[in-house]
Structure 1
């Protein structure tokens, strides 16, 4: 029996959540927190994750990471392997993924969408409209954030792409919630686990420090939206169960999913 099958909860409407780290990069605080201060030059590491939510019968991937080809072009990125390949270590093959929730359409969250042969994709309508509309084409400083190849694949999957407008229950105990802020249609995922309600905040809060000290990051679509997202993820989660999108500390605050996966895969709830 695979690790994922061992973890699947028995109760209706319950999920288990794994955070899978597939890359790291060394940055500085000035790159990660808005507003220059005396600590801006300090080293500040970032981690890259995808998240897996499993119920008794469903397998849901939250975000799709960076493709191997794209990873090779990112300066300073220590790429540990394709997120899809790493999922195999916990017992999930590409064809096992039923649903992919794309929290937003930045390249480091969409990179392996073409490697999941039968998955459905959930994206906020507002997010899709932004990246396929005139503003994204005109704002050239954001072009590096979005992958044309990933967008083309999503546009070609037909009914497997579901555009949602606002909050939506995807299955008992699993829901998406539009928060905006970081991007036009940023959404977060809430999963009811045996430990309580977990919120995968993704890049609505890159690091624990963002949400816990009310300090925005440097990449944002709407400043009021960023602060509103901080409030919303804390409203949706039980205490201690907000999971930021790029914080190495996730692997310290939560136990390893198995001893052999320490420092790579954490069990969240």
Structure 2
């Protein structure tokens, strides 16, 4: 008899939003389906099997001010709204080290950070000599991650890794050298948190990745990987799509977020 992995609750918590952006900025191939879309900025929380795992840390006030982006609320405040204490969280998965995904690590002083080998090599290596590739990184965040390495607070992964029964990490590449996605077992099946492997639902529907990628070929393969890992297209959660907030049930109680382990609203497509 095969052991069934535990079911998990999965939350998407919105902490910032961008202005509307034209298709040429959001898609590698801005063809007939593409429309103006904004970016919603999320972090994700996974709860079940006796543990809580946070996926990405967002950015803080300093980055918001520097980049001119609104900060609806701090990520630790967003997590507190669902009963999660960032200050004591033991495990944080960093899908990649772009500033909007790894800019709030200081809010997690007890956490061990899960990072792909290739991501650390990418953001400290020769690719960072290219201004267009390093623009989404903040050097202070990268330096801080090196400090975490020396402080033995980073758990490196090389490809696929199960960090807990029902929670696994999968190297995708494409958007960054070591982009990873997270697969989670829920009551409705296997859900994939695509993060920036798929910015939008249209990225998946039309095989049309975000243009900021060191490897377009890997970015296209990353979309396919998400499809292979998820139980269906309705089980893939894009990293920045505003529709996520409309498709899934709201958490309520003042939390600006939704429950991804519950069945999405099929009428809001």
Q: Give the TM-score normalised by the residue count of structure 2.
A: 0.89
The correspondence for 2:226, drawn from 225, 233, 247, is: 233
Give the corresponding residue for 1:114.
106
Quote how far apart the aligned CAs of 1:38 are: 6.8
The correspondence for 1:248, drawn from 242, 249, 256, is: 242
Q: Does 1:87 align with 2:79?
A: yes
Does the 8 Å contact 1:59/1:96 carry over to 2?
Answer: no
- The 2-side partners of 1:232 and 1:203 are apart by 13
Quote how far apart the aligned CAs of 1:184 are: 0.8
SS of 1:13's partner is coil
Detail structure 1 runs of 4+ shifted over 6 Å in the superposition: none
Does the 8 Å contact 1:121/1:160 carry over to 2?
Answer: yes
Deviations 1:246-268, CA, capped at 9 Å, x for gaps: 0010011111122643xx21001
Quote how far apart the aligned CAs of 1:12 are: 5.7
Give the corresponding residue for 1:156.
147
Give the corresponding residue for 1:99.
91
The correspondence for 2:133, drawn from 122, 142, 155, is: 142
Quote how far apart the aligned CAs of 1:203 are: 0.3
Does the 8 Å contact 1:94/1:115 carry over to 2?
Answer: yes
Q: Does 1:210 align with 2:200?
A: no
- The 2-side partners of 1:38 and 1:90 are apart by 40
SS of 2:53's partner is strand
Greater shift after overlay, 151-160 or 82-91?
A: 151-160
- The 2-side partners of 1:198 and 1:37 are apart by 28
Deviations 1:191-215, CA, capped at 9 Å, x for gaps: 1011111100000000010011111
- The 2-side partners of 1:260 and 1:154 are apart by 32
The correspondence for 2:176, drawn from 162, 183, 192, is: 183
Quote how far apart the aligned CAs of 1:145 are: 1.1
Does the 8 Å contact 1:208/1:244 carry over to 2?
Answer: yes
Quote how far apart the aligned CAs of 1:149 are: 1.7
Q: Which runs of 5+ in 1 are unaligned?
A: 1-10
- The 1-side partners of 2:28 and 2:49 are apart by 41
Q: Give the TM-score normalised by the residue count of structure 1.
A: 0.89
Give the corresponding residue for 2:60.
67
Does the 8 Å contact 1:114/1:150 carry over to 2?
Answer: no
